């Protein structure tokens, strides 16, 4: 009987276009439920797909500090997140949550 050979799945190998990268980040933000480290890890996946050295250079960070910031083990600063998002050629957007009234107060069900 022959055993099944498996290899670890690496999402970075499947993020080829800016549209795929943006869709992945958007999905991760939706799933994160406020977990900044989870979003940082997603940014790390995208940075690896694009090339960590180039992203670090474009963001004005060292490669080592970029790996640490986007490891998912810590919460990077907003400044770091914004620099990385820009270096990746992505944009962050905000939209009103569907359960928010016009005055910005949460609506209870």
Mean pLDDT by 10 residues, the chain (109 residues): 87 95 95 92 96 96 95 91 96 82 60
Longest dimension (CA), the chain: 66
Short-list 92, 49, 95, CA closest to 70: 49
What pTM value is reported for the model? 0.82
Crossing angle for the helix pair 18-32 and 36-50, to the nearest 10 degrees: 170
Give pLDDT, residue 2. 80
């Amino acid at each position: 009987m022959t055993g099944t050979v498996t290899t670890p799945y690496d999402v970075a190998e499947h993020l080829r276009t800016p549209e795929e990268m943006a869709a992945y980040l958007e999905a991760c933000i939706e799933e994160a439920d406020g977990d900044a480290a989870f979003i940082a890890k997603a940014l790390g996946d995208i940075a690896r797909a694009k090339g960590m050295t180039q992203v670090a250079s474009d963001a004005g960070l060292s490669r080592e500090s970029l790996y640490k910031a986007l490891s998912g083990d810590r919460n990077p600063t907003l400044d770091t997140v914004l620099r990385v998002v820009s270096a990746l050629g992505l944009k962050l957007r905000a939209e009103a949550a569907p359960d928010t009234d016009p005055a910005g107060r949460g609506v209870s069900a």
